[in-house]
Chain A
Amino acid sequence: MGDPLFWHRLQFGFTITFHYLFPQLTMGLALLIVVFKGLGLRTGNEAYHDLARFWIKVFGVSFAVGVVTGIPMEFQFGTNWAAFSRQTGGVIGQTLAMEGMFAFFLESTFLGLLLWGEKKLGPRGHFLVAVALLVGSWLSGFFIIVTNAFMQHPVGYTLARDGSLQLASFWHYVLNPWAHVQYVHNMMGAVVTGAFVVTAVGAYWALKGLHPEHARLNLRVGVFAGLVGALLVAFPTGDLQAKMVAKHQPVSLAAMEGRFESGPKAALNLIGQPDVEARKLDNPVRLPGILSVIAFGSFSSEVKGLDAYPTDQWPTNIELLYYSFRIMVGLGTFFILLMALAAWQTRKQRLERSRWLLWALMLAFPFPFIANTAGWVVSEMGRQPWLVYGLIRTSEGASRVVHSGQTVFTTLGFAGLYVVLGLLFVFLVGREVSHGPAALKH
């Protein structure tokens, strides 16, 4: 426990996991706010504007927490991961700096106008401000994903004589194929989060018999966006992501699947408990041949198992990786089924009367947060033991000059602060939900 690396990893893992609960919500809501405002302008139905106003309030609180928990992320590259950042700053610094210059300034300029500028700007001007926030927050996501994609699949760099990585081609770096698949996959995940939250609030109002018109519109927009998002997360983006892992990180795929032995006609393990010591999967329930199809497109394809790789290249936490992958895929499947059912009932005009389904929709909102988090755990645990895949090991990346006494202190500090912050967030959003939507006061 005195191992400095452990604490550096714990601190980064904890702070990034907490932080990303908020951007996934704001990136999803940013899109849905544009949709609500757009529908309001098109149909002239004031209820859409009321809902946009309501969600902008929730967006404001989430955005604030996202900003204040995001600032430490940027700094931890230097404080906790100095060796890594020093070695790669010439490359990844490009997108981290671009995020500030192109995305954060855009967001911060228009946030105040989105929150408080509706009267001053009028409906069309305010709609454009919502679009600006959508562009800003989605750009921000893009730059972060490009940075992460370099760690997953480094391209566009050259190894300098002093051992550092330097940029060799800006466009290769930014147009990393890994980044594009991961970006769309990730953004659709954010849409699912936003859509489930919108749907859940609609379901809550409907169950309580509050604001019937608003509840109905919340449900319609939320269910539609949720279904489209959930489908796109799985196919084509999730599928492409899996193929990307199969191609560039085959050892991660083997670990994600709990596959210890190589061979053709690889089975997809639905469930079972990996015993890494004994190199086997306990109590497996399998679909024969399916993994070969998913990874390479045919039943006969050979899929390598962990036995094909030396153990020093195995991901360091196979169990967590394996379960996170199952949580992500399992929940993703559940999202499609739930939203398809809700969409069917909406089409039949009887969603508001299906109380059991409204209960399910109301209670489902935490699961996209869990699925998105699990997805990132798969991505980051699958990358281990590398910080930059194949180039820099995680054990070489931490700050050499920072001792555990410092890192434990700051980790505990974050733990305390974030518990308080999380409680405040839940309290404030809960208040907004109970206040409900409101018309613009003139």
Chain B
Amino acid sequence: MQGIWFGVVSVMLAFYVVLDGFDFGAGGLHLFVAKTNDERRAVLGAIGPLWDGNEVWLLAAGGTLLMTFPPVLTAGLSGFYLAIFVVLWLLLLRGISIEFRSHVQDGLWRAFWDATFAFSSLLLPVLLGAALGNVVRGVPVDAHGEFNIPLFTHFSTSNPVGILDWYTILMGLFALVTLLGHGALFLIWKTQGPVQDRSRRAARPLWAIVTLLWILTTVGTGWVQPVLFKAFLHSPLAWGLMAVSLAGWAAIGLGFARSRPLQAFLGSSAFIVGLLATTAACLFPVMLRSTLNADWSLTAHNASSAAYGLKAGMGWWIVAFPLVLGYFAFLFWMHRGKVSVPPEGEGY
């Protein structure tokens, strides 16, 4: 059961990254791919009905982690204290940027929210990528299963570590460029005209940089956390998941070449899910690796709730999950096709 919940939480987080990822990407790009008010409204119209639901995956994953592995959630959130609040404040800023912009038809009002939307959308992927970098690198979990590290120390991956070091920043940049590329593919799929053209022009160099950073982060991971590489070599599951990533990567190129935007977007989704799932499979059962003593690491086995609670949780979770998939299918179906810009006063 602990293994299943490890998988469930990983899948929920992967859903979060893929879904909120495309609206982060769209937000990070919109100042460049959408120039006029109508073009910006098209970008917002494409993600507006979806962003809130996308973000719920983060909350739902957090709640599920609290239910199933309380020590992991609490150690992580209190340990990365300052970075978590920066993330929360950026999420807050981003949410109101999207929702408040349309209420006032005024150039200054809208320029302000466009800027905050872009700023928060660009910074969030860096922080989320850095968070993943911290999980991979490990943190100084002590004998009580706790730690607390500052935002930065000396930018090296040896103790005393900070949340930002060269490796986690590299991961952050990888996440940023990947999600920008992912967002560009989403916009190519959902928009038309100049926004689509500019997104198409942005997508190619972005994915070239993704490929370069992918190689760099892989080498970096091998350097910082060789254990993960050994786990990879011995895990057929991880090989399979890496194959999903590679297939996704190929599908992006093919979809792009043949002008099949949905195929390219699904390709980048598979690429992201594959990479995250591969990482999770290699980490298993470790959830928070201790850099002080391997025995102090928090794992799916030593940090879970009791068996009854895990079973009871699964009892309702398997009812809720198909419902949620149903909502998302309905939502995407309701907003199928290219986004159109409604008259002022209606829509985003």
Contact = CB atoms under 8 A, between A and B. Distances in A.
Contacts of A210: none
B95 A68 contact: yes
Interface residues of B, number: 69
B63 to A, nearest CB: 4
Contact of A78 (B74, B91, B324): B74
A413 B74 CA distance: 21
Could you say which of A64, A98, A109, A431 has the most chain B C-beta atoms within 10 Å of its C-beta? A109
B60 A410 contact: no
Contacts of A167: 305-306, 308-309, 312
Contacts of A417: 89, 92
B78 A79 contact: yes
A105 B49 contact: no
A97 B312 contact: no
Q: What secondary structure prevails in chain A residues at the interface with B?
A: helix
Contact of A79 (B60, B61, B85): B85
A105 to B, nearest CB: 5
Given A64-B99, A89-B66, A105-B324, A168 B308 contact: yes
A102 interface: yes
Q: What secondary structure prevails in chain B residues at the interface with A?
A: helix
Interface residues of A, number: 67
A71 B88 contact: yes
Given A89-B70, A89-B73, A100 B56 contact: yes
Interface string B246-281: 000000000000000000000000000000000000
Interface stretch (A44-52, A191-199, A292-300, A395-403): A395-403
B347 A93 contact: no
A96 B148 contact: no
Contact of B305 (A65, A104, A117, A166): A166
Interface of A: 60-61, 64-65, 67-69, 71-72, 74-75, 77-80, 82-83, 85-94, 96-102, 104-106, 108-109, 111-113, 116-117, 120, 158, 160, 164, 166-168, 170, 399-403, 406, 409-410, 413, 417, 421, 424, 428, 431, 441
Given A78-B78, A116-B348, A402-B148, 18 more contacts: A61-B99, A67-B95, A85-B74, A89-B67, A89-B70, A90-B306, A93-B63, A97-B66, A100-B59, A111-B52, A112-B48, A112-B331, A166-B309, A167-B306, A167-B308, A401-B148, A402-B81, A413-B89
A204 to B, nearest CB: 20
B308 A102 contact: no
Contacts of A75: 62, 77, 84, 88
B84 A79 contact: yes
